[in-house]
Chains A and B, each alone.
Chain A
Amino acid sequence: MVRLKSRYLLCEVNVSDRSQLLLLDDRAIMVAVKAAVARTHGDYGAAMCSIRFCVKYLNAHTGIVFLRFPKRCYKLLWSALPFITSIETRGQKIPCFLNCLHVGVKLRVCTKAQYKGNTNYLQPKTNKQLKKHEV
């Protein structure tokens, strides 16, 4: 049986102003990633991005986003992610950068990594977590 294989990238959107994070939209991130890939890899990259690329999940409060890429070209498209400097939503340009935390084969593994990451990878979001880090 022929199987469609994909890779899921768990990324974190880092913004300097946390209130702007709530404005994020999955379509805005999709547009930003496609534009960055088209700039960095040209027509070849834009074509690879158009097959089976999508934003699977977005959490605007923590800034976690899951991206799905096809397995054959995920490394090439991953290399274009550092070139994203801002995301444009609702007429505003939010300067940010994408941090890739985990690459998974199945979405399930990515969600598990996200729960683990809530304590380890991510920046402390609440005061309680900040105090824990200080100690």
Chain B
Amino acid sequence: MKQVEEKEEASVYQRVVLKNASPYHYLKVRLVLEDESTRLSAVELKYFIITGLKSLYGEVGAAVNFDVLKYDEDTLTALLRVYSSLVKLWSSLTLLGSYQNKACAFRVLQVSPFLLALTGNSRDLHLD
């Protein structure tokens, strides 16, 4: 009888909910520019994001701790990591409208508190 009970326990579905599991948040963003031939280096991109934070959140916003982990110059896709103020970074990316007097937009592709989640994307999945 005991063995049967143990087997029943093993097949019970368990749901684990994690709240505030990771102090960091990772964002995958792409910069879309009006003039498609412009290229930015990683340093220029970080400076551009800092100017956006500064205009919306001031000196305190410009001091937000974020890093550019990966950057692809050809597609202008970057992987950003921010420590705790995800809302501040994301809102300033949304409101960042012009780069050197030309229209631009930041497309946020994926956001996750875990870096592993950004490796796969069901939108880009190709089923052969």
Contact = CB atoms under 8 A, between A and B. Distances in A.
Nearest to B57: A42
Interface majority SS (helix, strand, loop, mixed), chain A: helix
A45 B58 CA distance: 8
B55 A43 contact: yes
B105 to A, nearest CB: 19
Contacts of A42: 53-61
A63 B54 CA distance: 33
A54 interface: no
A44 B88 CA distance: 10
A44 B52 CA distance: 12
A38 interface: yes
Q: Sort chain A's interface into a size bin.
A: under 10
Interface in A43-98: 43-45
A79 to B, nearest CB: 8
Interface in B52-78: 53-61
Contacts of A116: none
Contacts of B55: 42-43
A38 B60 CA distance: 11
A40 B56 contact: no
A38 B56 CA distance: 9
A121 B108 CA distance: 52
Contact of A39 (B53, B56, B58): B58
A39 B57 contact: no
A114 to B, nearest CB: 30
Nearest to B62: A42
A41 interface: yes
Contacts of B53: 42
Given A38-B58, A42-B57, 14 more contacts: A39-B59, A41-B57, A41-B58, A41-B59, A41-B60, A41-B61, A42-B54, A42-B55, A42-B61, A43-B55, A43-B56, A44-B56, A44-B57, A44-B58
9 contacts: A39-B58, A41-B58, A41-B59, A42-B53, A42-B54, A42-B58, A42-B61, A43-B57, A45-B57
- 10 A-B pairs closest in CB distance: A42-B58, A41-B58, A42-B57, A40-B58, A42-B56, A43-B56, A40-B59, A44-B57, A42-B61, A45-B58
Interface of A: 38-45
